[in-house]
Amino acid sequence: MRQLPPSFFARDATVVAPELLGKAFEAAGLLVRITEVEAYTQDDPASHSFRGRTARNSPMFGPPGHWYVYFVYGMHHCLNVVTGAEGDGQAVLIRAVQGEGLPPGRGTGPGRLTRTLGIDTAWNGRPAVLHDLGEAPPASPIVTPRIGITKAAEWPRRWVSPPT
DNA sequence: CAACAGATTCTCT
DNA sequence: GAGAATCTGTTGT
Protein backbone atom coordinates (compact mmCIF):
# COMPACT_ATOMS: atom_id res chain seq x y z
CA MET A 1 0.00 0.00 0.00
CA ARG A 2 1.68 3.14 -1.28
CA GLN A 3 0.85 6.67 -0.25
CA LEU A 4 0.05 8.97 -3.17
CA PRO A 5 2.78 11.64 -3.67
CA PRO A 6 1.99 15.37 -3.85
CA SER A 7 2.67 15.28 -7.59
CA PHE A 8 -0.40 13.07 -8.02
CA PHE A 9 -2.66 15.95 -6.97
CA ALA A 10 -0.76 18.69 -8.80
CA ARG A 11 -2.67 18.11 -12.05
CA ASP A 12 -6.00 19.26 -13.42
CA ALA A 13 -9.03 18.11 -11.40
CA THR A 14 -10.54 16.49 -14.50
CA VAL A 15 -7.42 14.32 -14.79
CA VAL A 16 -7.04 13.51 -11.11
CA ALA A 17 -10.73 12.71 -10.52
CA PRO A 18 -11.02 9.48 -12.56
CA GLU A 19 -7.67 8.28 -11.20
CA LEU A 20 -8.96 8.65 -7.65
CA LEU A 21 -11.43 5.82 -8.22
CA GLY A 22 -10.18 2.79 -6.30
CA LYS A 23 -7.80 4.85 -4.15
CA ALA A 24 -8.24 4.62 -0.38
CA PHE A 25 -8.06 6.69 2.78
CA GLU A 26 -8.59 6.15 6.48
CA ALA A 27 -11.42 7.59 8.54
CA ALA A 28 -13.06 6.48 11.76
CA GLY A 29 -10.62 3.57 11.91
CA LEU A 30 -11.79 2.24 8.55
CA LEU A 31 -9.97 2.00 5.24
CA VAL A 32 -12.39 3.01 2.50
CA ARG A 33 -12.11 2.96 -1.30
CA ILE A 34 -13.35 5.85 -3.42
CA THR A 35 -16.07 4.81 -5.89
CA GLU A 36 -17.57 8.10 -7.10
CA VAL A 37 -16.12 11.58 -7.66
CA GLU A 38 -16.85 14.93 -9.31
CA ALA A 39 -14.36 17.51 -10.63
CA TYR A 40 -14.65 21.25 -9.97
CA THR A 41 -12.37 23.84 -11.57
CA GLN A 42 -12.32 27.61 -11.23
CA ASP A 43 -13.86 28.20 -14.67
CA ASP A 44 -16.84 26.08 -13.61
CA PRO A 45 -19.94 28.20 -12.76
CA ALA A 46 -20.92 25.54 -10.23
CA SER A 47 -17.61 25.64 -8.38
CA HIS A 48 -17.24 27.45 -5.07
CA SER A 49 -14.03 28.96 -6.47
CA PHE A 50 -15.79 30.43 -9.55
CA ARG A 51 -16.22 33.88 -8.01
CA GLY A 52 -12.77 34.03 -6.49
CA ARG A 53 -11.26 33.30 -3.14
CA THR A 54 -13.32 33.75 0.01
CA ALA A 55 -12.75 32.74 3.61
CA ARG A 56 -14.90 29.68 3.04
CA ASN A 57 -13.26 28.34 -0.11
CA SER A 58 -9.69 29.38 0.67
CA PRO A 59 -8.49 25.76 0.99
CA MET A 60 -9.31 25.31 -2.72
CA PHE A 61 -6.67 27.96 -3.47
CA GLY A 62 -4.12 26.42 -1.13
CA PRO A 63 -1.60 23.68 -1.89
CA PRO A 64 -2.95 20.54 -3.63
CA GLY A 65 -3.24 17.27 -1.75
CA HIS A 66 -5.16 18.83 1.13
CA TRP A 67 -8.77 18.30 2.20
CA TYR A 68 -11.45 20.91 1.58
CA VAL A 69 -14.51 20.29 3.74
CA TYR A 70 -17.53 22.59 3.63
CA PHE A 71 -20.90 22.63 5.32
CA VAL A 72 -24.09 22.89 3.23
CA TYR A 73 -27.85 22.97 3.76
CA GLY A 74 -27.26 23.47 7.46
CA MET A 75 -26.71 19.76 7.99
CA HIS A 76 -24.25 18.15 5.61
CA HIS A 77 -20.50 18.15 5.21
CA CYS A 78 -18.89 17.47 1.82
CA LEU A 79 -15.36 16.12 1.40
CA ASN A 80 -13.06 17.34 -1.37
CA VAL A 81 -9.40 16.98 -2.28
CA VAL A 82 -7.59 20.05 -3.60
CA THR A 83 -5.90 19.53 -6.98
CA GLY A 84 -3.94 21.49 -9.58
CA ALA A 85 -1.32 24.09 -8.72
CA GLU A 86 -1.57 26.25 -5.62
CA GLY A 87 -3.91 29.14 -6.44
CA ASP A 88 -5.83 27.27 -9.14
CA GLY A 89 -9.01 26.91 -7.08
CA GLN A 90 -9.63 23.29 -8.03
CA ALA A 91 -10.99 20.33 -6.09
CA VAL A 92 -12.45 16.86 -6.52
CA LEU A 93 -15.62 16.07 -4.57
CA ILE A 94 -15.73 12.58 -3.03
CA ARG A 95 -19.32 11.39 -3.54
CA ALA A 96 -19.17 7.74 -2.51
CA VAL A 97 -16.87 5.18 -0.88
CA GLN A 98 -16.85 1.47 -0.14
CA GLY A 99 -15.23 -0.26 2.80
CA GLU A 100 -15.29 -3.50 4.74
CA GLY A 101 -17.30 -3.00 7.88
CA LEU A 102 -19.18 -0.18 6.24
CA PRO A 103 -22.90 -1.04 6.27
CA PRO A 104 -24.46 -1.11 2.77
CA GLY A 105 -25.54 2.33 1.65
CA ARG A 106 -23.62 4.13 4.38
CA GLY A 107 -20.89 5.21 2.04
CA THR A 108 -23.12 6.47 -0.77
CA GLY A 109 -23.78 10.20 -1.10
CA PRO A 110 -21.43 13.04 -0.17
CA GLY A 111 -23.39 14.06 2.92
CA ARG A 112 -23.96 10.55 4.14
CA LEU A 113 -20.39 9.35 3.79
CA THR A 114 -19.02 12.26 5.83
CA ARG A 115 -21.54 11.59 8.57
CA THR A 116 -20.77 7.88 8.55
CA LEU A 117 -17.02 8.48 8.73
CA GLY A 118 -17.22 11.31 11.25
CA ILE A 119 -15.71 13.82 8.82
CA ASP A 120 -16.36 17.48 9.60
CA THR A 121 -14.68 20.85 9.21
CA ALA A 122 -11.89 19.68 11.53
CA TRP A 123 -10.53 18.01 8.37
CA ASN A 124 -10.59 21.28 6.47
CA GLY A 125 -7.15 22.29 5.22
CA ARG A 126 -5.43 19.19 6.60
CA PRO A 127 -3.05 17.19 4.38
CA ALA A 128 -4.91 14.40 2.57
CA VAL A 129 -3.39 10.96 3.08
CA LEU A 130 -4.52 8.74 0.23
CA HIS A 131 -3.32 5.23 -0.52
CA ASP A 132 -2.80 3.30 -3.71
CA LEU A 133 -3.97 -0.24 -3.05
CA GLY A 134 -2.05 -1.53 -6.03
CA GLU A 135 -5.03 -1.86 -8.32
CA ALA A 136 -5.26 0.19 -11.49
CA PRO A 137 -8.09 2.70 -11.83
CA PRO A 138 -11.13 1.22 -13.60
CA ALA A 139 -10.34 0.72 -17.27
CA SER A 140 -13.66 2.25 -18.23
CA PRO A 141 -15.21 4.31 -15.45
CA ILE A 142 -18.74 5.52 -16.05
CA VAL A 143 -18.84 9.26 -16.90
CA THR A 144 -22.07 11.16 -16.25
CA PRO A 145 -23.41 14.67 -15.69
CA ARG A 146 -23.18 16.00 -12.17
CA ILE A 147 -25.74 15.78 -9.42
CA GLY A 148 -27.63 18.27 -7.31
CA ILE A 149 -26.42 21.49 -8.88
CA THR A 150 -28.18 24.06 -11.04
CA LYS A 151 -25.28 25.52 -13.02
CA ALA A 152 -23.48 23.56 -15.71
CA ALA A 153 -24.82 20.34 -14.22
CA GLU A 154 -24.67 18.80 -17.67
CA TRP A 155 -20.87 18.96 -17.77
CA PRO A 156 -19.62 15.35 -17.87
CA ARG A 157 -17.44 15.67 -14.80
CA ARG A 158 -18.73 12.86 -12.61
CA TRP A 159 -16.97 9.50 -12.56
CA VAL A 160 -18.36 6.30 -11.04
CA SER A 161 -16.57 2.97 -10.55
CA PRO A 162 -18.25 0.24 -12.59
CA PRO A 163 -20.10 -2.35 -10.46
CA THR A 164 -17.73 -5.03 -9.20
C1' DC B 1 -28.48 44.43 8.49
C1' DA B 2 -31.98 41.52 5.69
C1' DA B 3 -32.52 38.30 1.97
C1' DC B 4 -31.53 34.21 -0.38
C1' DA B 5 -29.46 30.27 -2.73
C1' DG B 6 -27.13 26.08 -2.06
C1' DA B 7 -21.70 20.31 -4.84
C1' DT B 8 -28.02 17.05 0.35
C1' DT B 9 -30.81 13.66 2.45
C1' DC B 10 -34.95 11.92 4.59
C1' DT B 11 -39.89 11.32 4.82
C1' DC B 12 -44.31 11.26 3.18
C1' DT B 13 -47.61 11.15 -0.73
C1' DG C 1 -42.49 14.00 -6.87
C1' DA C 2 -42.62 17.44 -3.19
C1' DG C 3 -41.26 19.58 1.16
C1' DA C 4 -38.72 20.02 5.50
C1' DA C 5 -34.56 20.36 8.30
C1' DT C 6 -31.04 24.06 9.14
C1' DC C 7 -26.80 27.51 8.56
C1' DT C 8 -23.06 29.86 6.06
C1' DG C 9 -21.25 32.95 2.43
C1' DT C 10 -22.53 36.38 -0.72
C1' DT C 11 -25.05 40.16 -2.34
C1' DG C 12 -28.08 44.07 -2.02
C1' DT C 13 -30.35 47.93 0.72
**Model confidence over A28-83: pLDDT tens digits?**
999 999 999 999 999 999 999 999 999 899 999 999 999 999 999 999 999 999 99
pLDDT in tens, A78-102: 999 999 999 999 999 999 999 998 9
What mean pLDDT is predicted for residues A141-154?
Answer: 90
Say whether the CB atom of A148 is under 7 angstroms from strand C. Answer: no
Closest CA to A144 of A135, A134, A154, A136: A154
Residue A144: helix, strand or coil by DSSP? strand
Would the pLDDT of A134 be above 90? no
DSSP string, A78-108: EEEEEESSTTS-EEEEEEEEE-TT--TTTTB
Would the pLDDT of A136 be above 90? no
Would the pLDDT of A105 be above 90? no
What radius of gyration do chain A's Cα atoms show?
A: 14
Would the pLDDT of A21 be above 90? yes
Say whether the CB atom of A49 is under 7 angstroms from strand B. Answer: yes
Which pTM was predicted?
0.94
Would the pLDDT of A16 be above 80? yes
Would the pLDDT of A138 be above 90? no
Q: What is the pLDDT of residue A1?
A: 84
Say whether the CB atom of A50 is under 7 angstroms from strand C. Answer: no
CB A155: neighbour CB atoms within 10 A? 18
Say whether the CB atom of A34 is under 7 angstroms from strand B. Answer: no
Tell me if A52 sits within 8 A of A60, measured CB to CB: no
Going by the DSSP 8-state scheme, the letter that residue A151 receives in this structure is: S
Band (pLDDT 50/70/90 cuts) for residue A163 is confident
